[in-house]
Every structure is written in structure tokens, then in C-alpha cells.
Structure 1
């Protein structure tokens, strides 16, 4: 008598965008205009030196609230040209206006993006029925895989677990960037759906892995990407102690990068490394000398030197 054994899980399918994604900073020139050459150089560094499997462009860390639609398209094209042969490029297209989000999705698809990041509509605080309709309309309008982005602290409304489970039934809604900070809710999402969950908070990556997440869309991963990749690989291999040791080592930077808005310190750190960054656009303000000194201390505590 023979027994059919279930096939081993397809890890590549389980994590459609890889393990480690960075929400990439958008480099600007000294006068604040878009630096496309710098974007290509930074993308190359993040993929080739920091081990990122994918990059998210036009996210909040990419200062999407202050870039134009034309700049967003140009940035996608530059990053796809630079690293699209060896890393996935996920375009942030979410707004609080469904038709505008669909327009941005279509543009991103034409520009060569491999996937879309769609944030909860912010400020207008739609009910769950409105969220369901919004995300479904965007997914219906594209051929690209969609990563939802649940960040109630910025959006003002959370995507309920029941809503996420229903959205997961859509063929193209394949992943979730989870910045809700609620491990129980995440555990229910991974138990009740096949969404690939990515931590949206660097410091919660390891805890979320323990309840079924597959990776991270990070900010500190501009600097910690390679070691974060090792942490996730260790956890996947069953080396819980090794993963925990790396988590504890990187915790000063996982948390320190958010002492102010993450992009402010990311750009300060990139500039210190001689990498493309430039200023942040108002209403954000560049890091102070004291904030940069604290970032250096946080990097040192994580065993990562930031040049003086």
C-alpha cells in the first residue's frame, strides 16, 4: 500500500517578493530635484551589497507624499533599469483616492514594476466595506501582484482581519506589509489566509516570523539588509538561537532609525557613507548634528560602523 505524502512547501511561492525588501530612499540633488543617477547607484548598492531581494520605490520612506506622479514614474524606470535583472521592484501606488491609485498602478506596470504596494487609504478613514472595494478595484485593474499595506498609525484605520482574509481570495492580492503591531491579529491572518506577510516594522521582524510571516519591508535595512537576511535564513533553518542573537545585535538600529522620521536618519546615514541621498523635502527637515551622532552610536551598538 502506498501513501501519498504532501509536497514540500514552495518557499519561493510562499514569499513572492523574497525575504528582505528595503523601502528605498529617493535621492535628491542639493537643490531638491530628483537624482535618477543616484537612485540607480543606491538601488545597486542595496541589492549587491546589502542583499535585498526586492526594493520598494515610492513608499513613504521614498518621500512619496512630496514627489510628483511624473517623478514616481521616472524613479521606477531608473530602478528597474539598474537592478531589475536581479531583484524585484515593487512600486508604491497607494493614495486615498481609488481612481488615482488605479492610474498610478497602470503607470507603474508600464514602467516595468514587478509588483505594487497599496497602502490603506489615509485621512478619509473609509469603513471596511470601502477598503474591500478600494483594494479589489486596484487589483482588478492590474496584472501585477499586489502587496497590501496595513499601517493604522498613519492611515487612521486598520484593515480588519476578516477584510484581509476576504482580500486574500483575489488572485493578485498575494502579500501584506504588516505595520499594525498586533501579533495576535497577524497570527490569525497567517492562519486563515495564504497571504505572504512581511513585517512593516524592523524590530518586529523576528516576532512576526514566529507567527507565520516570511520577511520584512525595512527601513534600517538600508544598513542592516545583509544581516537581516541572515537572521531570516537562520529562523527558516530552525536556528532560533542564531536568529535571536542577530535580532538582539541589530535591535539598536532597528529601533534607532525611527528616533525621528526614518527617512531623515536614513539619508543622514547614506550621506555619511558617501552614497546618494541628498536633502529631504519639506515639510521634513534634515538630521541635526546631534541626531547624526546618535545614529552613529546606534550603528556602533549594532556592530556597524558609520564613517565620521
Structure 2
């Protein structure tokens, strides 16, 4: 029986930028905030962390910084995915070498591949390291789905232990095929409770950047058997989640954090500032939730 890398709320943490690079002082502040508020795992250099705009030197430095600052208080999961298998292996090996507890690897995007190609891609990545590998299936961004039968085949590789799944329609089939020792995490903040009800282990979350305690409690109350409270939390945050995804993420979450006084800077191009209309909608929603 393989133990999950974590159970609960994993924050897909943003990367704060200055004009000259990563704002490490701010990143440390955000890491401490997350740990203080009960976040169960930290995911560095994911989609929310704008990994696609990080050159390798920044990508590596962010992973090492997070590992060093967290210092084993909670698991650190490093985003090391790429649409180039060799490049993904390089980043994955580096993450393991500096002490990451697991890696998160997204499906190849743009060039894409077949289901056989997915199997070979992830197999090579997993075989390059000993740390757990979490697959990341997000068809809305990659235009490529990992079919449940492919997940099943990959789950038979010893250190491929979990998936961050954004396609709720296939979660039940994945759990039926792979069993309870293979962990499924929600990739959608508005569908955490339904995924938990099917047997999921938690969420890798965008909203946890601003409501870490609520996100942790959403999962923890469900796991403790208090489904009514978990349901209440999930329903309460739906309007907030809608606002946080009114434009391409992480544009709104960074805007929200800045509105809350966290001063995390802007997104990197090609991501731009929110439209005036959507910014006002986000601001009003944050007020309604009691965050500003």
C-alpha cells in the first residue's frame, strides 16, 4: 500500500516577480503564511506559478528555495513538467537532487502525443528518479487527456503514485481501475467535494493562495466525517472560485492577492492585467467573501 504524498490541501503557489526576477523575500513570506494557515503541501512552479515563463535557472532556484525554506515542515512538490521529455527529466532529476518530496508532471502540450506516447513520456520521467511522481491531467490547457486506461498502466510503475485530475467525469473510473493506493487530487477548486466523495485524497488549489485555512478545512472536515461542514464550505466559496477564474489563471489570483495587500507583483507576458470590468467583479466578490 503506497502512502499519499499528502492528504488535504496543496497550494499551487504563485511566483512573485519583480522587474528583475523572482521576489524571493515575498516568496518566503507567502510560504510562511501557507504553513501557518494549515496548508498540507506546497506545489512550487506549477501552472499557477507561471512555470512556462521561468527559464531553467529561475525554475531551479525557485524549487531549491522552497525546499530549503519549508525544511520538511510539509511536503514540497516541484512542478517539472515539459512537452520535451528530455527537458522534463532534467528538471525532475534536479528537483530530487535538492530534496523535493515529489514532482508534478503535466501532459505534453502543443506537440501533444498519443496515449502510447503519454505512457512512454511519463515512464521515462518516473524511471529517472525515486521520488513520487504525480501526473497532471488538465485538458483545458493542453488539449490532451490522459485516458483512464493509460492512468491505470502508469499507476503500475512503482513511483507514479497519484494524479492531479481536472476531468471529473473520469475520476470514478480512475479510482475503480487504480485502487485506493493511487491518490487522486482535484485540479478544480469548484469540484473538490465531489472528487472527495468519489475517493479523492485532496486538492491542488489556486484558491488556497488567498484562503488556505478554508481550503484545508474543506478537505479536513470531509475526511473526519463532517460532510455537512465540508459541503457548507464548498458551496460558500463557489462565487469566489468563479471570480478567480473569470480570466486565465493566474491573472485573477495575483490581482486578488494584490487587492488584499500581499503585493505579489504582476504576471509575466503574455499574461496581462485584468479588464476593468472583470477587476471590479473580482473586487466585489472579495468584499462579499470578507477578504477585503
Q: Do the aligned partners of 1:224 and 1:250 also contact (CA within 8 Å) in 2? A: no
Given candidates 41, 53, 58, the residue that maps to 2:29 is 41
Does the alignment pair 1:246 with 2:213? no
> Partners of 1:236 and 1:20 in 2: how far apart?
12
Given candidates 262, 271, 283, the residue that maps to 2:270 is 283
The number of residue pairs the alignment matches comes to 290
Does the alignment pair 1:114 with 2:101? yes
Aligned equivalent of 1:21: 10
SS in 2 for 1:122: coil
Structure 1: runs of 5 or more not aligned: 1-9
Aligned equivalent of 1:127: 114
Q: Do the aligned partners of 1:22 and 1:56 also contact (CA within 8 Å) in 2? A: yes
Normalising by structure 1, we get a TM-score of 0.90
> Partners of 2:238 and 2:212 in 1: how far apart?
13
Aligned equivalent of 2:209: 222
Normalising by structure 2, we get a TM-score of 0.94
> Partners of 1:238 and 1:14 in 2: how far apart?
20
Larger Rg computed on CA atoms: 1
Structure 2: runs of 5 or more not aligned: none
> Partners of 1:117 and 1:171 in 2: how far apart?
15
Go from structure 1 to structure 2 and tell me whether the alpha carbon gap of 1:224 and 1:110 turns closer, same or farther (over 3 Å shift). Answer: same
Aligned equivalent of 1:186: 171
Which segment is superposed worse, 266-275 or 159-168? 266-275
Q: CA RMSD in A?
A: 1.6
> Partners of 1:214 and 1:85 in 2: how far apart?
20
> Partners of 1:70 and 1:167 in 2: how far apart?
30
Does the alignment pair 1:205 with 2:212? no
Aligned equivalent of 1:7: none
Per-residue CA deviations over 1:225-277 (Å, capped at 9, x if unaligned) read: 21121121221222222211111111111222100122111111222233241
Q: Do the aligned partners of 2:4 and 2:161 also contact (CA within 8 Å) in 1? A: no
